[in-house]
Structure 1
Amino acid sequence: MLFEPNLRVHGLIDQTVVSNVLHDLKAVRDGGNDLYVEIDTPGGDADGARRIALEIKLFLKHSGRNGFVLGKNTVYSAGITVLAAFPKGSRFLCPRAVLLVHERRLEKELVLNGPIRSCLQIVREQLALLQTAERLENEGFEDLVEGSKISLEQLRDHALNNCYLMAERALELGLVADIAR
């Protein structure tokens, strides 16, 4: 796993990375091997990461094969979603790996101009968007903390302030199975 992963998530997670992962995952599915993922990412598109995580979960559930992930250097932001797709016992980090767990950022101006009912509808739509985003974010955080020593609420409190975790701390918290030495 350390030197010959059959799927890599490198660089900023964008549509190109998602396409490459889907292509590589198909090759793994078509072969008979277990899934060995190497991840090193500064983060990127949260929805793209959710798609990658979904495909990994489906592979693990339906292929009858094992899957393992190794965080090499940085597993930031959207990369946490991919890492969390694997059960805790299948997550590993290199000794100097750093995780960044934070809440999804949003920058949006809300302009209300018009009849009150129309303005209320705009507010309802934006609130629904925020509530959906929070629910999806919680799903990924729940996957990450499952079987660990940290609760969802504790993780969310840390995530509010950009929580950087060194490999040793992630191991202490039970977020990963071990450190690959």
Structure 2
Amino acid sequence: MPTPTKGPRLGGGPSHERLMLANLATALFEHGRIQTTETKAKRLRPVAERLITFAKRGDLHSRRRVMTTIRDKGVVHVLFTEIAPAMAERPGGYTRITKVGNRKGDNAPMAVIELVREPYSPKQATVKEAEAATKRSAADRAEAPAAPAAEETTTPAEESTTSEAVEPEITEAPVAEGPAGAEVPAEGEGVTDDAPESDAKA
């Protein structure tokens, strides 16, 4: 027994669903964008992208494979001559689904499915990797200030020990004491003029 596809079945039976998806794909390639229900857009996306992959090959066998789904030769011609060359460098993701709100009558969720027409650049393919790298670097930056803070607390003590080792110790000059506890100036200190000569001679 084949594995059933994901999501609800469209229409009353499998053949009806295939015809509905074929008509939706034809309208998508003809107009470039269509508005439909969200469920139909999600089911149409893999079908349309597979047809674009066939069109990128460009050989006769691929054209006949596409013709089994899309019966309009004009739309097949547009697919092979205009859409496929525009998607040549894009590795996948040929369609985009945008939700547009609910339908007024039955409140069904609606969506717009369109072909991605922007030129592909390899830089866009690495956007997720760049975002992950920025998140990792931000986390590293958040952890980094905690380690330098601990180092800063230890560095002043280390600097003080090194400054003490480098700078010579300054000691006060010895003060000689005379008789009766009078202080005598040490060598190199001048004698004041106010002092009597007898004190200076002593």
Task: Specify if TM > 0.5.
Answer: no
- Structure (1/2) with the larger helix percentage: 2
Tell me which structure has the larger Cα radius of gyration: 2
TM-score, length-scaled by structure 1: 0.22
TM-score, length-scaled by structure 2: 0.21
- Structure (1/2) with the larger strand percentage: 1
Higher relative contact order (CA 8 A, sep 6+): 1
